[in-house]
A and B are shown apart, each in its own frame.
Chain A
Amino acid sequence: MLPLHTHGIVAAPVPALLKVLGIAEALSGAYPPGKVAVDLRDGPEVDATALGAAGFAGIVTDGPVERHAVPVHVHSLRDGAVVAPGDVVRVRPGTGMVSNLFRRGANANTLFATERCNSRCLMCSQPPRDDNDGWRVREMLELVPLLDRDLPWLGMSGGEPTLLGDGLREVIGAVATHLPSTGLHILTNGRTFADPGALRWAAPGVGRTVWAVPLYSDVSWRHDHVVQAEGGFDQAVQGIYNLAEAGHRVEIRMVLHALTVPRLKPFAEFVWRNMPFVDHVALMGLEPMGYAKVNRDQLWLDPLDYASDLVDAAFHLHDRGIRTSIYNVPLCVLPRAAWPLAQQSISDWKNTFAPACGGCDVRGRCCGFFASAGEGWRSRGIKPVNGGHHGG
């Protein structure tokens, strides 16, 4: 698990957002030099003064250098691995903080759209704040042109991204312009799209976007309870239909816990009957962060106790031709037949394994755990899978 932040010495006039590149890629001209910090830590000797003359914005070095002519110099990073060529970083001269906003080759890269949200899900891992975070749109617009152009997928999360309104439209438009072959995967509660007028904010994303909308039940009051929003189910359903009718791709996300699992099987039939057009259904284990910790008593269910319901529901959809995945549930608590549906779903930077996983033969294919999941959040079924003795 590689952290997203580190500290070092940042010599710069103001905070800056920079694409870090090795010397050869920097010189290829793929990105405007004024946005590029050349990573000189692992390369050949380079005359740093010449880089300034060539217009590059900065350099990253192991330690101090005698002479350079670039505006930004980052060195002496506490954890040098946080920054690598291809990444995009934000550097702050005052605190020396270096934050990684985009990591080349990571299993997931996500734009964080906003802290705000119009729902208050009982298990929210990222509790919303009502901050005025309009600056995030500007940062995303600055960031998008610096992302790798061959990036297959870019995520967007929050908060509730649709609350950005026209800002969302701008960001999606920027992705369409600068990353024409990149797919967008946007987490939204879908409620905003109950108003067909809101579809204009999504319009530049048609053909390149999957909208991942959570549905937590087949009946309104159970969903509304989970998301703590009256009318939330109705709005999400209307939003899903409006998106689909406008030509968007939709993914359904279900989080597994004590309030959702009891209706998991009818939920699967509900999706098949009412939205068989969806692109994908993700059935996801709980991320023990934020509100999930506060509401542990009403949410916690050992995955071992819901594995059978989960597998029934997953195959109910899969057998009917709806692409279905299981996220965040370790292989050892799933029957072997369900393994092909289980994904390594936890972002690199949140991912860890338990001590028991040391001797496991399938660790390399397993999602493992959220680093935030302490002992109390791990199934009693966690055990190494070896040889012929497989989970179940």
Chain B
Amino acid sequence: MGERIAFKEMAAFRPVTPGYALMPFRFARLPGRQEVLLTNEVGEFAFVADADLRALVAGTLDRGAPAYDELASRHFLAEGNPGAVTRMLAAKYRTRKSALRGGPALHLFVTSLRCDHSCAYCQVSRQSPDKSRYDMSPATARAAVDRMFEVASPALTVEFQGGEPLLAFDRIRQVTDLVLERNQAEKRDVSFVVTSTLHQLDAGMLAFFRQHGFKLSTSLDGPAWLHDANRPTPGRDGHARTLAGIALAREWLGDAQVAALTTLTRRSLDHPEAIVDHYVENSFRSVFLRPLSPYGFAVRAERRIGYGTADFLAFYRRAFAHILRLNREGTRIDEAYAAILLTHILSPFPTGYVDLRSPAGAGLGVLVYNYDGSVYASDEGRMLAEMGDTTFRLGSVHQPWQELAGSDAMATILGAGVAEALPGCADCAFLPYCGADPVHALATQGDPVGHRPTSAHCAKHTGIFQMLFDYLADGDPGTMRTFLSWVTHQDRDSLAGGAC
């Protein structure tokens, strides 16, 4: 049995005088809830009683209280030597911000601004399909590929955007070939995406996409009557052709390679269930409910198709409840945006999503090579430029990346793109899961820092976060299981446990 030793009580391993150090955190009171939400710098959260929060801050939280262990476990407080706690916080922080390490990983190639659609909400100010001067030239494409490989990111996503990029398929082929050729020596982890209406798809394109593992992303706004009203085409058969394109793409590439998102007009807002059901009926496992963007033709059409954030949030809550109901009944469907936010909330890992980051994804996570040889910090930055404001134009594809990275446009982004330093964001409990969007702020409020109390971006995200944390506080096991299935990309039924 070994030596006889005197074992010590637990108290012997705690400071003689009770006390702890506070670690950085923020808090929020959710409408209609007693508990207070606490979130820390690395995205861990806890719900505590108001009295516990007050005691925590006063330094008098009793070490025997249940909340004490919970808050210590999640690093809201540190007892004794804080060495390991700060080490863990640092590691988690580094992981959350790890997208910064390699620079932009998403590279958008606007191969053509031409499009055969005439969507009222078009963000990109498309041009009619026969104007080939709105196509990217071979020389521009070549320079853009050179710029992309100057970035250090070990993973590169090449996304073809438009207009309708398939109208300039030769350019897609050229860029892909150039990228693959360069990559024989570069050995990056390269993937390809095309954002398209899919109406122009043919067997030659599909064979090419299959060969190179392309993913296709398209727009599907809901049932035919809604889709065709939102997205008019000359033949008035946009919906049918989109579904045909989806079927063809799935046949060639597999279901997992084809995604769709919906843009919401005022007309859409009355039909959350119909839109979601349409996605389910068409075998999608994800629906991205995306409000109108304040760019491009959408601005001009605002009076006719626009709506306020409160209307959007009412729609979103209804659609979300419907999606949860479907999951409970055995249908696998997520809301793509909520899945991203929940991953920020429930996991220690960042997502690849570039539109909600701090520092902002613009220029730091994404670069856009426009058909005309301009380089923009983001897709929205290019849309803004089409409207006459070139604040987020970094320069030309013929300038080296180092020069583009040192541009005034990047200085603007760095000055206004760190949410931790923005008024109204710095002390927001949702900050760890949210991001800065200086492009949106400039477009809607006239300056890149923006003003949170009147920001639609802020109102939308606050509303969604409040809804999600309300569900998390309720902790319904079925809902938690659904959330976990979204965050871990697993079938709900294959999860053995299920609580968050």
Q: A221-B13, A319-B495 are in contact. Are A122 and B79 (CB under 8 A)?
A: no
Q: Which residues of B contact A316 (CB under 8 A)?
A: 497, 499
Which of A18-26, A145-153, A268-276 contacts its partner?
Answer: A268-276
Instruction: Given A228-B7, A234-B83, A273-B348, check contact A318 B496 (CB 8 Å).
Output: yes
With contact pairs A263-B69, A273-B348 given, residues A234 and B81 touching in the complex (Cβ less than 8 Å): yes
In the complex, what distance in Å separates the CA atom of A241 from the CA atom of B92?
12
Task: Tell me if B13 and A224 are in contact (CB < 8 A).
Answer: yes
Among the listed A221, A234, A269, A321, which residue makes an inter-chain contact with B488, where contact means beta carbons less than 8 Å apart? A321
Complex: how many Å from CA A219 to CA B495?
28
Q: Can you list, as one digit per residue, whether each of B1-23 has a CB less than 8 Å from chain A (1) or not (0)?
A: 11101011110111000000000
Convert B38-65 into 0s and 1s, putting 1 for each residue whose CB lies closer than 8 angstroms to a CB of A: 0000001000000000000000000000
Residue of A whose beta carbon sits closest to that of B9: A225
Q: Does A37 count as interface, using CB distance less than 8 angstroms?
A: no
Contact with B484, one of A241, A276, A319 (Cβ below 8 angstroms): A319
* Contact between chains at A219 and B69 (CB < 8 Å): yes
In the bound complex, how far is the Cα of B497 from the Cα of A316, in angstroms?
6
Which residues on B sit within 8 Å (CB–CB) of A338? Answer: 496
Given contacts A228-B8, A273-B44, A295-B7, contact A127 B81 (CB under 8 A): no
Q: Evaluate whether A231 and B498 lie within 8 angstroms (CB atoms) in the complex, with A219-B72, A319-B484, A320-B488 already known.
A: no
Partner of B1, one of A127, A263, A273, A319: A127
| B70 interface residue (CB < 8 Å to A) | yes
- Check A221 against B7 for contact (C-beta < 8 Å): no
**Which residue of B is nearest A335, CB measured?**
B496
| A318 pairs with B497, CB closer than 8 A | yes
For chain A, residues 311 to 326, give those with C-beta under 8 angstroms from any C-beta of chain B: 311-312, 314-316, 318-321
**A225 and B8 contact, CB distance less than 8 A:** yes
Contact A337 B496 (CB under 8 A): yes
Known: A222-B10, A266-B73, A319-B490. A237 touches B88 (CB 8 A): yes
Chain A residues with Cβ under 8 A from B70's Cβ?
266
The contact string, 1 if C-beta is below 8 Å from chain A, for chain B 78-94, is 01110110011001100
Which chain B residues lie closer than 8 Å to A266 at the CB level? 69-70, 73
1/0 per residue B345-386: CB within 8 Å of A? 001110000000000000000000000000000000000000
Given known pairs A127-B1, A127-B3, the reply for A272 and B348 (CB within 8 Å) is yes
Interface SS, A side? helix
**Do the beta carbons of B498 and A218 come within 8 Å of each other?**
no
Asked if B2 and A129 sit within 8 Å, CB to CB, the answer is yes
Count residues on chain A whose CB falls below 8 Å from chain B CBs.
Answer: 45
Q: In residues 62-92 of chain A, which contact B (Cβ within 8 Å)?
A: none
A235–B87 CA distance with the chains assembled, in angstroms: 11
- Chain B interface residue count: which class? 35 or more
Residue of B at shortest CB range from A233?
B84
Distance in angstroms between the alpha carbons of A89 and B496 in the assembled complex? 45
Residue-by-residue, is A150-172 near B (CB-CB < 8 Å gives 1, otherwise 0)? 00000000000000000000000
The reply to whether B497 and A237 form a contact with Cβ atoms under 8 Å apart is no
Contact code string B294-309 (vs A, CB < 8 Å = 1, else 0): 0000000000000000
Partner of B10, one of A225, A238, A319: A225
Known: A129-B2, A225-B10, A319-B496. A220 touches B84 (CB 8 A): yes
CA distance in complex: A1, B338 (Å): 55
Separation of A345 and B499 alpha carbons in the complex (Å): 28
- Residues of chain B lying within 8 A (CB to CB) of residue A55: none
With A225-B9, A273-B44 known to touch, is A238 a contact of B497 (CB < 8 Å)? Answer: no
Residues of B near A96 (CB, < 8 A) are none
Task: Please name all residues of chain A whose beta carbon is closer than 8 Å to the beta carbon of B74 when the two chains form the complex.
Answer: 273
For B12, list chain A residues within 8 Å (CB).
225, 230
- B329 → chain A, closest Cβ, in Å? 21
* Smallest CB gap from A268: residue in B: B497
Q: Determine the residue in chain A with the shortest Cβ distance to B490.
A: A319
A-chain residues with CB within 8 Å of residue B84 when the two chains form the complex:
220, 233-235, 237-238
State A230–B70 Cα separation when bound (angstroms): 21
A290 at interface (Cβ–Cβ under 8 A)? yes
Contacts of B5 in A (CB 8 A): 120
Residue of A nearest to B90 (CB): A241
Binary flags per residue of A247-274, CB closer than 8 Å to B gives 1, else 0: 0000000000000000100100110111
B44 partner residues in chain A, CB cutoff 8 A: 273
A238 & B7 in contact (Cβ 8 Å cutoff): no
Q: Are B7 and A231 in contact (CB under 8 A)?
A: no
Q: Mark B193-230 against chain A: 1 for CB-CB distance below 8 A, else 0.
A: 00000000000000000000000000000000000000
Residues of B within 8 A of A314 (CB): 497
Per-residue 0/1 for A188-220: is the Cβ within 8 Å of any B Cβ (1 yes, 0 no)? 000000000000000000000000000000111
A319 to B498, CA, bound (A): 7
B81 contact set on A, CB distance < 8 A:
231, 234
CB distance from A137 to the nearest CB of B (A): 22
Q: Give Cα A228 to B5, complex, Å.
A: 11
Residue of A with least CB distance to B496: A315
Give the docked Cα–Cα distance between A218 and B14 (Å). 15
Contact A122 B88 (CB under 8 A): no
When C-beta atoms are compared, the residue in chain B nearest to A130 turns out to be B3
Residue of A nearest to B71 (CB): A219
- The yes or no answer to A360 lying at the interface (CB within 8 A) is no
Residue interface mask B480-500, A partner, CB < 8 A = 1: 000010001010000111110
Q: Which of A127, A274, A290, A311 contacts B88 (CB under 8 A)?
A: A274
Q: Indicate if the CB atoms of A218 and B73 lie closer than 8 Å.
A: yes
CB of A315 to closest CB in B, whole Å: 3
Which residue from B2, B3, B8, B80 sits with its C-beta under 8 Å from A220? B80
* Closest partner residue, chain A, to B89 (CB atom): A274
Cβ A270 vs Cβ B73 within 8 A: yes
Interface centre among A127, A220, A241, A272, by most chain B C-beta atoms within 10 angstroms, is A220
8 Å CB contacts to B: which residues of A83-135? 120, 122, 127-129
What residues of B have a CB within 8 angstroms of the CB of A224 in the complex?
13
| A294 CB–B CB distance under 8 Å | yes
A120 touches B7 (CB 8 A): yes
Chain A residue nearest in CB terms to B4: A294
Nearest CB on B from A331, distance (A): 16
Say whether, besides A127-B3, A237-B88, A274-B92, A221 and B496 are in contact (CB < 8 Å): no
User: Are B496's CB and A290's CB within 8 A?
Assistant: no
Contacts of B347 in A (CB 8 A): 272, 320
* Bound-complex Cα distance A290 to B85 (A): 32
> With A and B bound together, what is the CA distance between A34 and B3 in angstroms?
40
In the bound complex, CA of A311 to CA of B496 (Å):
9
Distance between Cα atoms of A10 and B8 in the complex (Å): 47
Contacts of B495 in A (CB 8 A): 315, 319
Name the one of A269, A290, A312 contacting B2, with C-beta atoms under 8 angstroms: A290
A-B CB proximity, top 5 nearest: A315-B497, A127-B2, A224-B13, A234-B84, A225-B10
Residues of chain B whose beta carbon lies under 8 Å from any beta carbon of chain A: 1-3, 5, 7-10, 12-14, 44, 69-70, 72-74, 79-81, 83-84, 87-88, 91-92, 347-349, 484, 488, 490, 495-499
13 interchain pairs, CB-CB under 8 A: A127-B2, A218-B69, A219-B69, A221-B80, A228-B8, A237-B84, A237-B87, A238-B84, A273-B74, A295-B7, A318-B496, A319-B498, A320-B484
